[in-house]
Each structure stands twice: as C-alpha cells, then as structure tokens.
A and B are shown apart, each in its own frame.
Chain A
Amino acid sequence: KNEVEQSPQNLTAQEGEFITINCSYSVGISALHWLQQHPGGGIVSLFMLSSGKKKHGRLIATINIQEKHSSLHITASHPRDSAVYICAVCSRLNYQLIWGAGTKLIIKP
C-alpha cells in the first residue's frame, strides 16, 4: 500500500461543478502540499498545510491531522482548472517528501 493515496485517479466534470480531490496518508507528517501540473507543463505549488484550512481564490485546502486526510476543493470549476493535482507529504521522521500519484482533472465547457 502506498503511503500517500489520492482519489479519484481521474475526474471529469462539467464547468461550474464543485470539485473535491482527496489525499490520505499513513505516516506522521510535518506538512502537506498540494501542487498543480498542467499538461506538458511545470509544477506549481498551491498550498502547504500543517493544520486547518487555507483558501486562495476558488481553491480551498483542508487537512485533518487525526484522520490523516486532506482535501482540495475547487469551486465554480473552469476548463482552465484542467490539470493533474498532486498531494505530497513531508515525513516527520526524516523530512523527506512522499508523493501521491496525482489526480487528473478534466473540466468540460
């Protein structure tokens, strides 16, 4: 079993829908990252969380440390949100990053 699991692997939705991407992990962490990667593009850091909730524009990230779970939400989704969303956790044991496999999101107009 992977130490960081993302779900779903693939998600297709219509423009305007509320999107939720989940990340579960099994190790003790010091922080969790959400990143975005557009097709053929580079990686952009969206959030770094160690507790609670963060919001940036239409993006909201939450984390529940006790349940070892984080969610990334996109409100009023738009085709330009189509990308791979990656969760990564920083292990409290050795401060190394452990990466999820990513969630491929497609928003149809």
Chain B
Amino acid sequence: DGGITQSPKYLFRKEGQNVTLSCEQNLNHDAMYWYRQDPGQGLRLIYYSQIVNDFQKGDIAEGYSVSREKKESFPLTVTSAQKNPTAFYLCASSARTGDNYEQYFGPGTRLTVT
C-alpha cells in the first residue's frame, strides 16, 4: 500500500541536541511538506519541497533544516537554535497532474525536548 511513514511516533531529546525526524513516501509524489502543530493552534508550514534537490522555507523555518536528496525522503532536522522544539510534527506529500490532485498525510511525530 502506498503511503507516508514517519518514525518514531514519539521522540524525546535533551535540550541542546539536534534531532532528525524522518519522512518517507512511496507514492511517487514530487511535493513534500513539513508542518508543526502547537496545542490549540492550526498547523504551520515549516519547509516544503516541490522537487528533488530543491526546497523552500515556509512560515516558521527558523531553527529547522531539511534535505531532499531522494524523491521519497524528506528528513527534517530540529536544531538547537529552535527555541521551542516540543511540538507535533506532520509530514505530507502531494502530486498534481492537470486537474487531478492527491494529498497524503503521515501519522506525525510528537517531539518532546526537556
């Protein structure tokens, strides 16, 4: 079955450490996205990538980095520069061909930094 895998579901880190969240898709989608969710708020876009080896900052990119070396993978690194890293992180992918549009969502990773 095609879909998006995010692992792990829960992740715990000490303050000051970088941490990388994985996102893998086998949907052959060109576009991939990372969102952050804080309690009581809508999800916000961190980074997105429309094609391999290219990515763009979203609304809240500070303190995060990404890479897109392969079409199926879009890992997100939460750096020590991110002031409030504890949050729920959602990966998504999409594809658009003419009028056809597909959007898939991963299950998310809940990161806790203490």
Contact = CB atoms under 8 A, between A and B. Distances in A.
Given A40-B110, A100-B42, A45 B101 contact: no
A44 B3 CA distance: 12
For chain A, which range describes its interface: under 10, 10 to 19, 20 to 34, or 35 or more residues? 20 to 34
A45 B42 contact: no
For chain B, which range describes its interface: under 10, 10 to 19, 20 to 34, or 35 or more residues? 20 to 34
B107 A42 contact: yes
A90 interface: yes
B33 interface: yes
Contact of B105 (A31, A40, A43, A102): A43
Given A30-B101, A43-B107, A95 B94 contact: yes
B84 interface: no
B103 A31 contact: yes
Given A40-B110, A42-B108, A102-B42, A97 B90 contact: no
A35 B42 CA distance: 12
14 contacts: A4-B42, A40-B110, A42-B6, A42-B108, A45-B103, A45-B104, A86-B43, A88-B43, A96-B45, A99-B44, A101-B40, A101-B41, A102-B40, A102-B42
Interface of B: 6, 9, 31, 33, 35, 40-45, 48, 90, 92, 94, 96, 101, 103-108, 110
